[in-house]
Chains A and B, each alone.
Chain A
Amino acid sequence: MRTKTTNRVISRIIIYALLLFLAFIMLIPFVWMISASLKLNKDIFVIPYQWISAEPRWQNYIDIWTKIPLAKYALNTAKLTIIVTLLQILTSSFAAYAFAKLQFRGRNLLFLAYIATIAVPWQVYMVPQFMFMRKLGLADTHLAIIILQAFSAFGVFLMRQFYEGIPDSLCEAARIDGMSEYGIYAKIMLPLSKPALSTLTIFTFVNTWNDFLGPLIYLTTDSKKTLQIGIKMFISQYSAEYGLIMAASVLSLIPVLIVFMALQKYFVAGITTGAVKG
């Protein structure tokens, strides 16, 4: 009996030790980031490393705004992210409703077109897509980035999966009451699909906010660039401005951290929906 409880205690200790070790590995770059963002460049690679600086240099967080047009970049990114997320949610949930709840000719064929493209990575068609956008005069515009992100097959797929789980009888009852399909969508389906909408929101938000290759290809004018591109440019130009680079990095993480903390459980739900779908 006694050995059994000691065994339990030992296994508990091992589990917590492992977890703390892993948490340490996951967190250390972020802790270092904050620590270095409050230092002068010459103090960052001093041996041994000072985790908490004697005189934290808050000035880095003020200087970064004037060193690069950080506010402009942040504004561009916020604008793009909000528009893309709204469009994505609206058009995906709209289309998914028809795929899940309406009967019409060509339904399976159209849906197959969506499914087939999920398997084609964007990187495969990014070049012709760019040439096409350029032909339309959309190179170096925010509109191009919006179009790029707003009509994903993934969104339609995710929403359809969720709607399939809502009983048809609900829609039937509303139809008998004389409600139009648009009414059913707006008054019954949308309010019920809050979890799926949240999942789609957080995925689209994080993807658009963090997108790198899209803006890198499309946006050439400085004042149109996004946060990711702006910071990368700053890093390339001032590779020795360690403190400022870290301050900019910390700032760029804050919005994602907030959205992530607020909607975390939907994130997990979204990943597992994807997993179940296979």
Chain B
Amino acid sequence: MNTQGAKKRKMRQALVAYSFIAPNFIGFAVFTLGPIILAFIMAFAEWDGNNPMKFVGLKNFADLFANDRFTAALKNTIVYSIFTVPFTLIVALGLAILLNQKIRARTFFRTVAFFPYVASLVAVAAVWNMLFTPAKGGLMNQLLMNVFQTAPLKWAAAPNTVMLTIVLFSIWKNMGYYMVIYLAGLQGISEDLYEAASLDGAGALQKFWYVTLPQLKPTTFFVTIMLTISCFKIYDIVYMLAGGSNGVVNKSAIVLVYYIYEEAFRNWKLGSASAAALVLFAIVLAVTLIQFRGEKNYAND
């Protein structure tokens, strides 16, 4: 009798718990988990959304790597990441170190550095397109011609400078976010370490090299991972800066997510789009696994 009562109570407790979880979990399972599973099925099928699905094995993947628009997208995404990650990291760290000093108006500077991150992309990209206009009257070209005495650039309008423009924009837009992470990292370094270094006669530069940088290693690791993942997800920046008036991005600037979007919603080749999506997933997963391994190392330290 007693055990039955206990069982009943446990049952009721579980029901209460499920009632807490249900509203979110049902939405999450139906609209997130379901589609994720579907993505894995679709990648191995041919489907236009109307006619029945036809399974084709690995054909979608073979076609992908034979498609020069896809390989261009993959290459551009990697190039974009290779340039964006280190520069954003360095600028974010520099900013964080400056803002970690005892300075006036710290909140003001932090707000200013952070605002581009929350500002809506359409608005700031519109300004960038005007500042970096290929015409000579644009602010950036004026700067190049009058201050640096060099020829004006075509920026996003030329195949050889379009990626440069996108990288510059993305550093400017996102560095505030990573700066905040670095600031938290810096504040976690114990003052004692700096004092000990001072007693040993270390200068500012030596303190930075032997105390700050090693202490920030976990933060840097985390920022690198986050940045890399977000770089591989890039889409809207490219669409805004390099998409023509009809929104088509050409081969010099196409990126993975844009390719997925185009295959799915312009060409209605849903299988091929899902195969490309799985390639994206594989890359992100690989980066995440590196993160897990790294975290274990830092936990042991």
Chain A positions near chain B (C-beta within 8 angstroms): 11, 15-16, 18-19, 22-23, 25-27, 29-30, 32-33, 36, 44-49, 90-92, 94-95, 97-99, 102-105, 107, 110, 113-114, 117, 119-121, 123-134, 147-148, 150-153, 155-156, 180-182, 185, 206, 209-210, 212-213, 217, 227-228, 231-232, 235-237, 239, 242, 245-246, 248-250, 252-253, 256-257, 260-261, 264, 267-268, 271-272, 275-276, 278
Contact of A123 among B219, B235, B245 (CB under 8 A): B235
**Sampled A-B contacts (5; CB under 8 Å):** A26-B115, A30-B119, A150-B27, A267-B114, A275-B222
Q: A23-B109, A236-B247 are in contact. Are A29 and B27 (CB under 8 A)?
A: no
B169 (CB) vs chain A CBs: closest residue: A29
Chain B residues within an 8 Å CB radius of A124: 36, 39, 277-278, 280-281, 284
Extra pairs beyond A19-B99, A29-B172, A155-B24 (20, CB < 8 Å): A19-B109, A23-B113, A32-B139, A47-B142, A91-B27, A98-B18, A103-B17, A127-B260, A129-B32, A134-B49, A153-B28, A212-B122, A212-B239, A217-B261, A217-B265, A231-B122, A232-B122, A237-B245, A249-B124, A275-B184
Q: A124-B39, A249-B127 are in contact. Are A212 and B181 (CB under 8 A)?
A: no
Interface residues of B in 255-301 (CB under 8 A from A): 257, 260-261, 264-265, 270, 273-274, 277-278, 280-281, 284-285, 288, 291, 295
Asked if A98 and B20 make an inter-chain contact with CB atoms under 8 angstroms apart, the answer reads: yes
User: Does B201 lie at the interface of the complex (its beta carbon under 8 Å from any beta carbon of A)?
Assistant: no
B234 (CB) vs chain A CBs: closest residue: A123
Q: A151-B32, A236-B247, A272-B181 are in contact. Are A128 and B137 (CB under 8 A)?
A: no
Per DSSP, are chain A's interface residues mostly helix, strand or loop, or mixed? helix
In Å, the complex CA distance between A22 and B42 comes to 47
Asked if B101 and A113 make an inter-chain contact with CB atoms under 8 angstroms apart, the answer reads: no
Q: A105-B14, A121-B284, A124-B277 are in contact. Are A32 and B131 (CB under 8 A)?
A: yes
Chain A residues within an 8 Å CB radius of B122: 212, 228, 231-232, 235, 249, 252
Asked if A33 and B172 make an inter-chain contact with CB atoms under 8 angstroms apart, the answer reads: no
Chain B residues within an 8 Å CB radius of A152: 28
In Å, the complex CA distance between A112 and B295 comes to 18
Asked if A49 and B139 make an inter-chain contact with CB atoms under 8 angstroms apart, the answer reads: yes
Chain B residues within an 8 Å CB radius of A231: 122-123, 126
Interface residues of B in 23-43 (CB under 8 A from A): 23-25, 27-29, 31-36, 38-39, 42
Q: A15-B98, A94-B24, A102-B17 are in contact. Are A278 and B295 (CB under 8 A)?
A: yes
Chain A residues within an 8 Å CB radius of B204: 11
Chain B residues within an 8 Å CB radius of A272: 180-181, 184
Chain B positions near chain A (C-beta within 8 angstroms): 13-14, 16-18, 20-21, 23-25, 27-29, 31-36, 38-39, 42, 49, 95, 98-99, 101, 103, 108-116, 118-124, 126-128, 130-131, 133, 135-139, 142, 172, 176-177, 180-181, 184-185, 204, 219, 222, 229, 232-233, 235-236, 239-240, 245-247, 257, 260-261, 264-265, 270, 273-274, 277-278, 280-281, 284-285, 288, 291, 295
Asked if A128 and B280 make an inter-chain contact with CB atoms under 8 angstroms apart, the answer reads: no
Chain A residues within an 8 Å CB radius of B118: 206, 210, 256, 260, 267
Give the shortest distance, in Å, between A174 (CB) and chain B (any CB): 14
In Å, the complex CA distance between A26 and B119 comes to 12
In Å, the complex CA distance between A248 and B101 comes to 38
B180 (CB) vs chain A CBs: closest residue: A271
Asked if B103 and A121 make an inter-chain contact with CB atoms under 8 angstroms apart, the answer reads: no
User: Total A-B pairs in contact (CB under 8 Å)?
Assistant: 264
Give the shortest distance, in Å, between A23 (CB) and chain B (any CB): 5
Chain B residues within an 8 Å CB radius of A227: 120
Most chain A CB atoms below 10 A, which of B20, B115, B257, B281: B20
B136 (CB) vs chain A CBs: closest residue: A47
B204 (CB) vs chain A CBs: closest residue: A11
Give the shortest distance, in Å, between B124 (CB) and chain A (any CB): 6
Give the shortest distance, in Å, between B112 (CB) and chain A (any CB): 5
Chain A residues within an 8 Å CB radius of B98: 15, 18-19, 22
Q: A26-B112, A26-B116 are in contact. Are A213 and B261 (CB under 8 A)?
A: yes
Give the shortest distance, in Å, between A264 (CB) and chain B (any CB): 7
A14 (CB) vs chain B CBs: closest residue: B98
Asked if A271 and B28 make an inter-chain contact with CB atoms under 8 angstroms apart, the answer reads: no
Asked if A27 and B181 make an inter-chain contact with CB atoms under 8 angstroms apart, the answer reads: no
In Å, the complex CA distance between A249 and B130 comes to 13
Give the shortest distance, in Å, between A85 (CB) and chain B (any CB): 14
Asked if B277 and A127 make an inter-chain contact with CB atoms under 8 angstroms apart, the answer reads: yes
Contact of B42 among A127, A246, A261 (CB under 8 A): A127
Asked if A113 and B33 make an inter-chain contact with CB atoms under 8 angstroms apart, the answer reads: yes
Asked if B36 and A275 make an inter-chain contact with CB atoms under 8 angstroms apart, the answer reads: no
Give the shortest distance, in Å, between B36 (CB) and chain A (any CB): 5
B219 (CB) vs chain A CBs: closest residue: A275
Chain B residues within an 8 Å CB radius of A249: 122-124, 126-127
Q: A110-B25, A113-B33 are in contact. Are A95 and B20 (CB under 8 A)?
A: yes
